[in-house]
Amino acid sequence: MANPMEQFKVETLQPLHAAGYDVSYTNSSAWMVVALLAIAIFLFVGTARPQLVPGRWQAAVEYMYGFVVKMMDENVGPEGRAYVPLVFSVFIFVLACNLLGLIPWIGAFTPTSHISVTLGLAVIVFATVCVVGLLKHGLHFFSLFWPKGVGPIMGSFVCFIEFLSFLSRPFTLAIRLFANMTAGHVVLKVFGTFVVALGSIGALPYVFGVLPLVANVALTALEVMIAVVQAYVFALLTSLYLNDAINLH
C-alpha cells in the first residue's frame, strides 16, 4: 500500500548553501515558482488588452481583484485600500498553491501543506500588523489589548491573556491552512489506495472498488472547495488583523 505521507516529501532538486544554511532548491520551491508563473500568466493575459466591456479572462481577473477590495473595504474601511496589494498577493498565492497541488499529475506537490511555508506567510502578515500598528499609533497600539470597563487588576490580567492570544495569531493562521491542506491530501490518497486494495480482492472487484472511487470523486470536489475557502479565510483573517492595527477599536 502506498504511503499516504509520501506526497509531502520535500526533495532537493538543486543543493544550495548560503551562510551555513541549507537553502536548496526543492520541489516545494519549484511548485511555488509554478504557482507564481500561473498567477503571472493569469494576470498578464487578463490585463493585456483591457476593454471597457471585459472579456471572460479580464472579467475573471477583475472579479478576483474586486473581491479582495470589497473584503478590505468591509473589514478595514477606506484606509484598507493601501494594503490591498499585500492581501491580494497573499490570497492569490495561497489559492494558486492550493489548487495546483490538487491536480493529480506526476510529482504533484502542495507547498501550503508544509507549515514552514504557511508560517512564513503568517509571519509576514503578523510582522506587517505589528509594524503598521506601531508606526500608526506608537505605543498607543498596546491599548488594543486593554479591555473596556474593567478594573485595573482584572484589566491587567485580561490584557496579558489578550497579549498571549495576539502572539498565537501567526501560529493559528499557519496551522489552520497547513492542517486543512495536509488532512485533505491524506484523505484523498487513503481513498485512492482503497480503490486499488478493494478492487483487487474477491470475486466482485468492480463492486467494491467503485465505492471508494465514488467517494474520491466527491472528496475531490470537497477539496477544491476547501482550497478556495482556506485561501479566503487566510486573506479574511489578514484583513481582520490589519483592521486591528489600523483602527485599533
Partner 1 sequence: MFVVPGLNGVCTLDKDPARHGASGGDLDRRIAAAEARHPAVPTPVAGQGENQGWAMGVDFVGVVLVSAFIGWAVDRWAGGHGWWHGPWAMLGFLLLGFAAGVRGVMKLAAKGAGAAGGSGGMAPLPDDEDDD
Residues lying near partner 1 in the complex (CB under 8 A) are found at 53, 144, 147-150, 158, 160-162, 164-165, 167-168, 171-172, 175-176, 179-180, 222, 225-226, 229, 233, 243-244, 247-249
Position of cell 481513498? 191
Output 53 or 106, the one with its CB closest to partner 1. Answer: 53
Distances (CA, A) of 219 to 108, 191, 197, 233: 17, 9, 18, 20
Output 2 or 229, the one with its CB closest to partner 1. Answer: 229
Longest dimension (CA), the chain: 75
> In whole angstroms, what is the distance from residue 99 CA to residue 225 CA?
10
Minimum Å distance from CB 62 to partner 1? 16
- What would the DSSP string read from start to end of 84-146? HHHHHHHHHHHHHHHHHHHS--TT---GGGSHHHHHHHHHHHHHHHHHHHHHHHGGGGGGGGS
Output 26 or 230, the one with its CB closest to partner 1. Answer: 230
Output 159 or 195, the one with its CB closest to partner 1. Answer: 159
> In whole angstroms, what is the distance from residue 144 CA to residue 45 CA?
43
> In whole angstroms, what is the distance from residue 61 CA to residue 181 CA?
25
Minimum Å distance from CB 89 to partner 1? 23
Minimum Å distance from CB 141 to partner 1? 12
Minimum Å distance from CB 105 to partner 1? 27
Output 112 or 243, the one with its CB closest to partner 1. Answer: 243
Minimum Å distance from CB 180 to partner 1? 7
